[in-house]
Amino acid sequence: MLHAAVLLPFLAAFFIPFIYRGVKQVHLGWFVLAVPILLFGYFLTFINGVLKGVHTLKTFEWIPSLGVNVTFFIDGLGLFFALLITGIGSLVVLYSIYYLSKAEKLGHFYVYLLLFMGAMLGVVLSDNLFVLYTFWELTSISSFLLIGYWYQREKSTSGALKSMVITVFGGLAMLGGFLLMSDITGTTSIRGIIENADLIVNSPLFTFILILVLLGAFTKSAQFPFHTWLPDAMEAPTPVSAFLHSATMVKAGIYLVARLSLVFAGTDLFFLIVSGFGLLTLCWGSYMAVRKTDLKAILAYSTISQLGMIMAMLGFGTKAAILAAVFHILNHATFKGSLFMVAGIIDHETGTRDIRRLGGLFTFMPITATLALIGTFSMAGFPLPILNGFLSKEMFFKSSLHFEHASPIVEAVSPFFPYFAVGGSIFTFIYSVMIFFRTFTGKQRDTLEKQPHEAPIGMLISPMILVALVVIIAIIPDTFGHLLLAPMVDSVTNLVVDPHIKFWHGLYNPELYMSLAVLIFGTLLYMTRTKWVRIYDVLPGKMSAAKVFDALMNGMVKGSEKVTNIYMTGSLRHYLVYILTFFIALLAITMSVTGGFTLSFDDLAPIALPEVMIAVVMAVAAFGTIFMNNRIAAILVLGIVGYGLSLLFVFFRAPDLALTQLIVETVTVALFLLCFYHLPDLDKEKSSSGTKVVNWVISISVGVIVTLIGIASHSTKMFEPISDYFIKNSYKLGGGDNIVNVILVDFRGLDTMLEILVLGLAAIGIFTMIKLRPGKKGGNE
């Protein structure tokens, strides 16, 4: 049943194109909507079990012999994410029905969306490392397709590529970490690995593993400096941004860190990296968001910043921090989801998302404005008892103040954390306020393409539900804490937590003053923002992660072009020089390392004068070819080498060879002559002296090396050759006196048959080369 649930989106994705083709009157989204709603209902039924501590585990054997099984596992953490994915998914699909008109390629859109939904469910429910990885990459791929949905736009495709490159990079690093973890613990099950966590923590590879796995998490969750893909991903349709790039997919990295907290947490390294990068991302994201003017870009940087905040809390690792983290995951999904939808509405109804052109929309779209008001103020952490963002922000402040495990490093670093927390939050306050006031209040600054008006009710339903949740969660946080958060904290820390969340902690709490500081400084800085905006010229100035990424990609392409052009010259001589140089170097090294060269004068045939004389003639003739400028002479000299060889065969008791060589040589020479007749005469070698030296060095080295190996081989005969058998049995079994012939036609008849085949093939080749001339234009196909 659980498998069927995860499979359902995939199945639906498969059938969507058929429905799309068959049913034209009804918006495709209505059919799709059934999937997440059904699944949401289904996952709700697990809450009761999880509260009682019952963890559902279902296994489907995929590649059992590799230890790769589709094992789905529902505990507090998995269930929460499953509900988040299907819940937000339902709202997003509903919203998309009004956002995307029927003129769009809805078939594609919903197929990708359903693929993503299935993959994301797979990520958060898998117990098997490699299945998790499979779904993980599938989320990257579906995200790639969704960002590139409007594929004619250059920006969409480059954004799609960027997100894929960065997230797949992280995924591969993570795969490396997973491989090491499963090697060390001997299991591919996450639960199994958690049980054997000490093996990993004590392994010498711990640092390596941690970095690899965190690369996966950080790239996916857009942590600094990998965050750069997220703003570009905003080219996707807004429902996608709301769903993938704020509420769910970007939280996969958060999920992974949370899931593996029981393995890594408690080590200083984990604490340093995760909290450090988390806080850095928090500050950088909110700082950069203030600078942006496109509503979706502000929201993208805001998402980066909020993800950093959640990551930091996971890094803190205390019970209170984890509770705050999981609470904020929920809260962020509600207010950020609604804000993305609001941004979509504004874009849809006014034709722009640029806050420099917007303003005064409150009068035209009061409902949207109200929703935005609640969303932005919740995000800002404005101290009102109806804003869930305030509650989790306070918990964040509080958790940045108290650390349980006291190692020297923690003690040394942690006092700085509250400052980062407050600093990041001040900027969060600024851009939140900015979104609302610059869009909805004041005067309209520009004539817009469309006359702004309130969105259709269908588009408003989803953000309304989310905003309602913002308020409800703030009013009854304990219910959510009890039902969802406590089981999650249990999964992440193995500790039971009292999920009591209060609005008012009394006057003597440092977090209250931190909140007030945010409020005051935030307001002040917002009012005076024109005065200090030039700071952005200094930091980041001309630097940005996007530029680094572009430079890397460009450099890679340019660099590879350069490198490849240097050696892939198309010159046969160059290629041969490389190959032969490698040959010489490799064999020289091998011989000297292995002591391969031996020289033995035993068992040699006596030196006879005629043979030596022939040898000298052959050698002279061979080198003669090099210096011949007359083609006929060159061929004749080559013939001398061939005929010399056949004479040698006579001396070496090989009459058959001698005969064959004689015939073949004659025919070859004839052929050479025939061909050369059509070719230009030989030139005198006109190469530079450098080239000549290289040629000589290489050819002499090759000669020396093969000679040495030949002599060494001959000097180390280790076994009797098998040929005695041929001598003994040639007549008896082969019925022939000529042993060589018997070998050829009988013992090794297959070789001979094939050699004839080679001749035949050569003949066919020659025939086609001569006869087949390309038509007027010799193109392929």
Partner 1 sequence: MEIIMSVLAGLLFTAGVYMMLQKQILKIVIGTALLSHGAHLFIITMGKLNRGKPPILAEDVTNYADPLPQALILTSIVISFGVTSFLLVLAYRAYQTNGTDNMEKLRGNDHE
Partner 2 sequence: MSNLVILPILLPLLTGIFLVFFNSKLPLVRMITKVMVIINLIAVSAIAYEVVQNGTMVLKAGDWTVPYGIVLVADPLAMVLVVTANIVATACAFYAFHSLDEQRERFYFYPLFQLLIAGVSGAFLTGDLFNLFVFFEVLLIASYGLIVLGGTKEQFRESFKYIIINLFSSILFVTTVSFLYAVVGTVNMAQLAERVGEVEQGGILTTIAILLLVVFATKGALFPLYFWLPKSYTVPPTVISALFGALLTKVGVYSILRVFSLIFVYDLTFTHQLFIILAAFTLIFGVVGALSTNNIQLIVAYNIIPAVGYMILGIGVFSATALAGSVYYLVHDMIIKAALFLLVGAMAAYSGTSDLRKMGGLIKHQPVLGWLFFIAALALAGLPPFSGFVGKLLILRGAFEEGHYTVAVIGLLTSLLILISIIKIFIKGFWGEDKLEKVPNISIRNKIMPAAFLLFFTVLLGIGAEFFYPTVQSIGDQIIDPINYIDSVMKE
Binding to partner 2 (CB under 8 A) within 518-557 occurs at 556-557
Residue numbers 373-402 binding partner 1 by CB under 8 A: none
Binding track, positions 524-563, relative to partner 1; x by CB under 8 A: -------------------------------------x--
Q: Rounded distance, CA 364 to CA 448, Å? A: 13
Which residue in the set 26, 516, 704, 733 belongs to the binding site for partner 1 (CB under 8 A)?
704
Q: Smaller CB distance to partner 2: residue 46 or 726?
A: 726
State the binding string over 484-523 for partner 2 (x if CB under 8 A, else -): ----------------------------------------
Among 495, 576, 585, 613, binds partner 1 (CB under 8 A): 576
Number of residues that bind partner 2 (CB under 8 A): 106
Residue 371 and residue 334 in contact, taking contact as beta carbons nearer than 8 Å: no
- Cβ proximity to partner 2: between 537 and 603 the closer is 603
Enter the DSSP assignment of 455.
P
- Give the H/E segment covering residue 57: strand 56-63
Exposed, middle or buried: residue 22 (CB in 10 Å: 0-12, 13-18, 19+)?
A: exposed
Q: Binding of partner 2 at residue 340 (CB under 8 A)?
A: no
Contact between 671 and partner 2 by CB under 8 A: the answer reads: no
Contact call for residues 453 and 365 (beta carbons, < 8 A): yes
Is residue 581 involved in binding partner 1 (CB under 8 A)?
no
Contact status: 4 vs partner 2 (CB under 8 A)? no
Residue 8, contacted partner among partner 2, partner 1, none, CB below 5-8 A by kind:
none
Q: Is residue 647 near partner 1 by the rule CB under 8 A?
A: no
Which residues, 6 or more positions from 416, have their beta carbon under 8 angstroms from its beta carbon? none
Which of 309, 264, 267, 262 minimizes the C-alpha distance to 286? Answer: 309
Rounded distance between C-alpha atoms, residue 212 and residue 172, angstroms: 9
738 near partner 1, rule: CB under 8 A: yes
State how far the alpha carbon of 101 is from the alpha carbons of 15, 98, 107, 112, 244, in Å.
21, 7, 12, 17, 20
The verdict on whether omega for the bond into residue 225 sits within 30 degrees of 0, i.e. cis, is yes
Instruction: Output the smallest distance, CB 265 to partner 2, in A.
Output: 24
* Site residues (CB under 8 A) for partner 2, limited to 719-748: 719-722, 725-726, 729, 733, 746-748
Interacting residues of 536 by C-beta distance below 8 A, sequence separation 6+: 291
| Single-letter code of the amino acid located at 448 | L
* Least Cβ distance, residue 159 to partner 1 (angstroms): 28
3-state SS assignment for residue 59: strand
Q: Contact between 520 and partner 1 (CB under 8 A)?
A: no
Among 63, 619, 693, 733, binds partner 1 (CB under 8 A): 619
Q: Which stretch in 162-170, 362-370, 382-390, 649-657 sits in contact with partner 1 by CB under 8 A?
A: 649-657
Q: Is 725 left (phi over 0), alpha (psi -120 to 50) or beta?
A: alpha
User: If we measure between CA atoms, which residue out of 767, 747, 766, 744 comes closest to residue 756?
Assistant: 744
DSSP symbols for 204-230: TTHHHHHHHHHHHHHHHTT-TTSTTHH
Of 93-132, binders to partner 1 (CB under 8 A) are none
As a whole number of angstroms, the distance between CA 586 and CA 197 comes to 45
The answer to whether residues 162 and 232 touch, using CB atoms and an 8 Å cutoff, is: yes
Q: Which does 619 bind (CB under 5 to 8 A by kind): partner 1, partner 2, none?
A: partner 1
Using the contact rule CB under 8 A, the part of the chain among 183-191, 241-249, 536-544, 732-740 near partner 1 is: 732-740
> Got the DSSP string for 458-482?
HHHHHHHHHHHHHHHHHHSHHHHII
576 binds partner 2 (CB under 8 A): yes
Crossing angle of the two packed helices 252-259 and 295-316, in degrees rounded to 10? 0
CA 220/CA 249 separation, integer angstroms? 8
Asked if 605 interacts with partner 2 (CB under 8 A), we say no
The footprint of partner 2 on residues 137-196 (CB under 8 A) is 137-138, 141, 148, 151-152, 154, 157, 160-161, 164-165, 168-169, 172-173, 175-176, 179-180, 182-183
Partner residues linked to 717 by β-bridges: none
37 or 172: CB nearest partner 2: 172
**Gap between the Cα atoms of 318 and 308, Å rounded:** 17
Distance (Å, whole) CA 182 – CA 127: 13
693 binds partner 1 (CB under 8 A): no
In angstroms, give the least distance from the CB of 551 to partner 1: 22
Q: Please tell me whether residue 706 binds partner 2 under the rule CB under 8 A.
A: yes
Q: Which partner in partner 2, partner 1, none is near 623 (CB below 5 to 8 A by kind)?
A: partner 1
Nearest to 100 by CA among 367, 421, 459: 459
Q: Which of 251, 282, 254, 288 is nearest to 396 (CA)?
A: 282
When asked if residue 605 is in the footprint of partner 1 (CB under 8 A), the reply is: yes
Asked whether position 66 contacts partner 2 by CB under 8 A, the answer is yes
Number of residues that bind partner 1 (CB under 8 A): 102
**Smallest distance from the beta carbon of 58 to partner 2, in angstroms?**
18
Q: Which of residues 246-265 bind partner 2 (CB under 8 A)?
A: none
Nearer to partner 2, 164 or 484 (CB): 164
Q: What span, in angstroms and rounded, lies between the C-alpha atoms of 200 and 177?
A: 11
Q: Is 779 in the site for partner 1 (CB under 8 A)?
A: no
Dmax over Cα atoms in the chain, in whole Å?
Answer: 115
CA torsion, points 548, 554, 556, 559, in degrees to nearest 10? -120
Give the number of other CB atoms < 10 A from CB of residue 560: 10
Do 8 and 14 contact (CB within 8 A), yes or no? Answer: no
| The two structure tokens encoding residue 170 | 């992280």
Q: Does 437 bind partner 1 (CB under 8 A)?
A: no
Residue 638 corresponds to which tokens in the numbers above?
Answer: 């080559």
Binding range to partner 1, per CB under 8 A, among 57-65, 230-238, 354-362, 725-733: 725-733
Complex with partner 2: residue 700 or 762, whichever CB lies closer: 762
Question: Candidates 254-262, 403-411, 450-458, 652-660 — which segment interacts with partner 1 by CB under 8 A?
Answer: 652-660
Minimum CB–partner distance for residue 559 and partner 1 (Å): 14
Residue 355 Cα distances to 295, 361, 368, 373, angstroms = 7, 11, 16, 15
Amino acid at 598: T
Q: How far is the CB of 634 from partner 1 (least distance, A)?
A: 6
63 binds partner 2 (CB under 8 A): yes
Q: Are the C-beta atoms of 296 and 234 separated by less than 8 Å?
A: yes
Please report, as a single letter, which amino acid is at residue 472: I
The verdict on 61 binding partner 2 (CB under 8 A) reads yes
In the bound state with partner 1, the residue whose beta carbon lies nearer, of 476 and 612, is 612
Q: Which of 15, 18, 208, 513 binds partner 2 (CB under 8 A)?
A: 208
Q: Among 687, 693, 716, 733, which residue interacts with partner 1 (rule: CB under 8 A)?
A: 687
Of 84-92, 399-407, 435-443, 663-671, the window that binds partner 1 (rule: CB under 8 A) is 663-671
The item of partner 1, partner 2, none sharing an interface with residue 604, based on CB under 5 to 8 Å by kind, is: partner 1
557 touches which of partner 2, partner 1, none (CB within 5 to 8 A by kind)? partner 2
Q: Does 696 bind partner 2 (CB under 8 A)?
A: no
208 touches, from partner 1, partner 2, none (C-beta below 5 to 8 Å by class): partner 2
